[in-house]
């Protein structure tokens, strides 16, 4: 098995196009996950028991089933019910919904980790609920949320190859299509692996820096 | 719904394959987690560097890419795996990298005094890890390992793409043969959910077992 640079030259432009789709899917999916996750977190903390219970188990159901099957569900089942989505849209919705189950836990933990005394203090100051959230709770709960949310962005990036299973031509699928038509597997697959490393290792390092930056002073070692 | 019942034998077969795949790769992942995690504390720089390379490689590239690499590229270099072996290797190696960070973090979380006490008692490195550090680190690891086990179980669905006949693969067969879509995918989603929930309950049991004795010790020590 010889490494061939001509194959590399031929496949690189296709991979670059795929990478753009991968990055688009990651960011749109992440945006959805952040927004839906916030909604789910608020529902989970609802005072109405039934709403809290249903939203908790809905989140758990999404979290305990494979993203690949959820993607198949969106891609194959919805058209039968009369809803037609392009592969990319179905994929991005799948990514967003799947990871909203994770981000909702980040939001919930962030808000619940604010000490009880802070809520009591704002009540003692006669703050209304907007003021409590805006000036007391959120300023304390948002910074610790940032590193885990950034980490999920990296995780989602690494999950995007699953979109190839529903015919989205992202980085991995671009390589796969080339491989299957030219019967060259070594170079395209290795390059895809390399692309992932090039993006995710520096971003993991960056996320680690964020974590150190946003750690409460008392916990810095 | 009738035809889905007709297909229940292959769904059961798929469920068994999924469970086998999960358990086999969980054992592999756990072993790798400890080896790579402990290697990070090695006194030899080369061992630590090798552990970091392993971690960054398997955590940095996507699991599905690793699986395809093992199944399609390695045979070209003369290394042949059956689909099942490739699936177990990819799932195990991938989750092993995440697990090694859990092991490392948990051992680091054991207080410094325990380290020093073991040194004061003239324990060898092996004794220090075996009798002092690891037993105290395990309860810390379990909740994260529980989450990783669910991630691993979900990752096995990807193995259907390298022709392993697990649940997801069976659902695709049913879809192709019957043109049904809602039923097969809904059924396997529920089966996956049940498997995951059983795994969660199992790890909760393990957690209780490990934290029981621990509580007494840590209270007595204070």
Total number of domains in chain B:
1
| DSSP 8-state code for residue B166 | S
- Residue A73: closest CA among A95, A90, A89: A90
Q: Which residues of A touch B196 (CB under 8 A)?
A: 64-65
Specify whether the CB–CB gap between B91 and B155 falls below 8 A. Answer: yes
Angle at B16 between CA B176 and CA B141, to 5 degrees: 120
Q: What is the pLDDT of residue B209?
A: 86
CB-closest option in B69, B76, B158 to A193? B69
The Cβ-side half-sphere exposure at A50, using a 13 Å CA radius, reads 0
Phi/psi of residue B123, each to 5°?
Answer: -70, 145
User: Which residue from A minimizes the CA distance to B181?
Assistant: A77
Q: Is A65 on the interface with B (CB under 8 A)?
A: yes
Touching B: A residues 159-188, CB under 8 Å: 159-162, 164-165, 172, 176, 179, 185-186
Counted across chains A and B, CB pairs separated by less than 8 A come out at 110
Distance CA B150, CA B98 (A): 13
Q: Which residues of A touch B105 (CB under 8 A)?
A: none
User: Which residue from A minimizes the CA distance to B149?
Assistant: A64
The topology (CATH level 3) of A5-219 is: MetI-like fold (1.10.3720)
Q: What is the pLDDT of residues A17-55, one digit of tens each?
A: 999 999 999 999 999 999 999 999 999 988 899 999 999
Check B64 against A193: CB less than 8 A apart. no
Distance from CA of B74 to the nearest CA of A (A): 8
* Mean model confidence pLDDT for chain A: 91
Distance CA B191, CA B199 (A): 12
Q: What is the pLDDT of residues B57-113, one digit of tens each?
A: 999 899 999 999 999 888 888 888 999 999 999 999 999 999 999 999 999 999 889
User: Which residue from A minimizes the CA distance to B189?
Assistant: A65
Element housing B91 (H / E): helix B83-109
User: Which residue from B minimizes the CA distance to A184?
Assistant: B73
Check A193 against B150: CB less than 8 A apart. no
B12 Cα distance to chain centroid = 23
Q: What is the pLDDT of residues B14-66, one digit of tens each?
A: 999 999 999 999 999 999 999 999 999 999 999 999 999 999 999 989 999 99
Residue A217 has pLDDT above 80, yes or no: no
What tokens does B34 get? 């400890």
Q: What is the pLDDT of residue B46?
A: 96
Q: What is the pLDDT of residues A54-67, one digit of tens each?
A: 999 999 999 999 99
Specify whether the CB–CB gap between A91 and A68 falls below 8 A. Answer: no
In DSSP notation, chain A reads ----HHHHHHHHHHHHHHHHHHHHHHHHHHHHHHHHHHHHHHHHT-SSHHHHHHHHHHHHHHHTS-HHHHHHIIIIIHHHTT----HHHHHHHHHHHHHHHHHHHHHHHHHHTS-HHHHHHHHHTT--HHHIIIIIIHHHHHHHHHHHHHHHHHHHHHHGGGGGGGT---HHHHHHHHHHHHT--HHHHHHHHHHHHHHHHHHHHHHHHHHHHHS-GGG--
Q: ipTM of this predicted complex?
A: 0.88
Give the residue-averaged pLDDT of B108-127: 91
* Mean model confidence pLDDT for chain B: 90
Check B168 against A66: CB less than 8 A apart. yes
% pLDDT > 90, chain A:
69
Check B168 against A69: CB less than 8 A apart. yes
Q: What is the pLDDT of residue B219?
A: 41
Q: Is A219 on the interface with B (CB under 8 A)?
A: no
Check B186 against A64: CB less than 8 A apart. no
Distance CA B151, CA B122 (A): 41
Q: Is A202 on the interface with B (CB under 8 A)?
A: no
| DSSP 8-state code for residue B7 | T
Specify whether the CB–CB gap between B165 and B13 falls below 8 A. Answer: yes
Per domain, the residue ranges of chain A are: 5-219
Domain at B40, CATH number: 1.10.3720.10
Q: Phi/psi zone of residue B111: left (φ > 0), alpha (ψ -120 to 50 degrees), beta?
A: beta
- With tokens 């395990």, the residue in question is B138
Model confidence at A220, in pLDDT bands (50, 70, 90)?
very low
- With tokens 């909604």, the residue in question is A39
Specify whether the CB–CB gap between B83 and B162 falls below 8 A. Answer: yes
Cβ atoms < 10 Å from Cβ of B45: 8
Distance CA A47, CA B167 (A): 38
CB-closest option in B61, B175, B181 to A193? B61
Domain containing B7: what range?
2-221
Check A77 against B197: CB less than 8 A apart. no
Q: Which residues contact B86 (CB under 8 A, 6 or more apart)?
A: B67, B70, B71, B74, B162
Q: Is A208 on the interface with B (CB under 8 A)?
A: no
Specify whether the CB–CB gap between A164 and A189 falls below 8 A. Answer: no
Q: What is the pLDDT of residue A214?
A: 83
Residue A159 has pLDDT above 80, yes or no: yes
Touching B: A residues 10-49, CB under 8 Å: none
Specify whether the CB–CB gap between A31 and A100 falls below 8 A. Answer: no
Distance from CA of A165 to the nearest CA of B (A): 8
């Amino acid at each position: 098995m010889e490494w061939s640079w001509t194959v590399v030259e031929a496949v690189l432009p296709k991979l670059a196009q795929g990478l753009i789709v991968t990055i688009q899917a990651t960011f749109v999916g992440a945006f959805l996950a952040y927004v839906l996750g916030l909604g789910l977190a608020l529902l989970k903390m609802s005072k109405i028991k039934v709403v809290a219970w249903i939203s908790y188990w809905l989140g758990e159901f999404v979290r305990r089933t494979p993203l690949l099957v959820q993607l198949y569900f969106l891609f194959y089942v919805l058209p039968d019910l009369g809803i037609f989505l392009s592969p990319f849209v179905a994929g991005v919705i799948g990514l967003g919904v799947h990871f909203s189950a994770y981000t909702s836990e980040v939001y919930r933990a962030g808000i619940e980790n604010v000490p009880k005394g802070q809520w009591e203090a704002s009540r003692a100051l006669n703050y209304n609920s907007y003021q409590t959230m805006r000036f007391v709770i959120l300023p304390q709960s948002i910074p610790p949320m940032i590193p885990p949310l950034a980490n999920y962005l990296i995780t989602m990036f690494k999950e995007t190859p699953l979109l190839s299973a529903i015919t989205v031509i992202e980085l991995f699928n671009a390589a796969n299509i080339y491989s299957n038509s030219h019967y060259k597997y070594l170079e395209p697959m290795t390059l895809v692996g390399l692309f992932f490393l090039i993006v995710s290792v520096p971003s993991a390092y960056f996320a680690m820096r964020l974590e150190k930056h946003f750690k409460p002073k008392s916990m810095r070692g | 719904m009738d035809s889905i019942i007709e297909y229940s034998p292959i769904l059961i077969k798929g469920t068994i394959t999924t469970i086998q795949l999960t358990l086999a790769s969980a054992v592999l992942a756990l072993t790798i987690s400890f080896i790579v995690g402990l290697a990070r504390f090695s006194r030899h720089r080369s061992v630590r560097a090798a552990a970091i390379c392993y971690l960054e490689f398997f955590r940095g590239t996507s699991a599905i890419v690793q699986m395809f690499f093992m199944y399609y590229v390695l045979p070209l270099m003369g290394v042949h795996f059956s689909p099942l072996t490739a699936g177990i290797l990819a799932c195990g190696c991938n989750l092993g990298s995440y697990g090694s960070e859990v092991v490392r973090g948990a051992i680091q979380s054991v207080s410094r005094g325990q380290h020093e006490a073991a040194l004061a008692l003239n324990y060898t490195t092996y004794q220090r890890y075996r009798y002092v550090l690891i037993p105290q680190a395990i309860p810390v690891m379990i909740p994260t390992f529980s989450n990783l086990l669910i991630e691993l179980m979900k990752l096995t669905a990807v193995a259907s793409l390298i022709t392993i006949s697990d649940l997801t693969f069976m659902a695709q067969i049913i879809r192709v043969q019957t043109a049904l879509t809602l039923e097969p995918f809904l059924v396997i989603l529920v089966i996956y959910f049940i498997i995951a929930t059983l795994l969660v309950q199992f790890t909760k049991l393990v957690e209780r077992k490990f934290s029981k004795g621990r509580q007494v010790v840590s209270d007595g020590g204070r």
